[in-house]
Amino acid sequence: MGFDLYFIIALIFAITIHEFSHAAVANYLGDPTARYQGRLTLNPIAHLDFMGTMMLFLIGFGWGKPVPVNSHNLYHPKRDSAFVSLAGPGSNILMAIAISLP
Task: Please tell me the predicted confidence (pLDDT) of residue 4.
Answer: 79
Task: Please tell me the predicted confidence (pLDDT) of residue 58.
Answer: 86
Task: Please tell me the predicted confidence (pLDDT) of residue 37.
Answer: 96
Task: Please tell me the predicted confidence (pLDDT) of residue 11.
Answer: 86
Average pLDDT of the chain?
92
> Could you tell me which residue, 19 or 53, shows the higher pLDDT?
19
Which H/E stretch holds residue 50?
Answer: helix 50-59
The parent domain of residue 44 ranges over 2-100
Number of domains in the chain: 1
Give the pLDDT mean for 31-52.
96
For the packed helices 2-28 and 77-100, what is the interaxial angle rounded to 10 degrees? 150
Check 19, 20, 22, 74 and give the catalytic one. Answer: 19
Respond yes or no: is residue 18 known to be catalytic: no
pLDDT in tens, 46-63: 999 999 989 888 887 888
Give the pLDDT mean for 56-76.
91
Look up the pTM and report it.
0.91
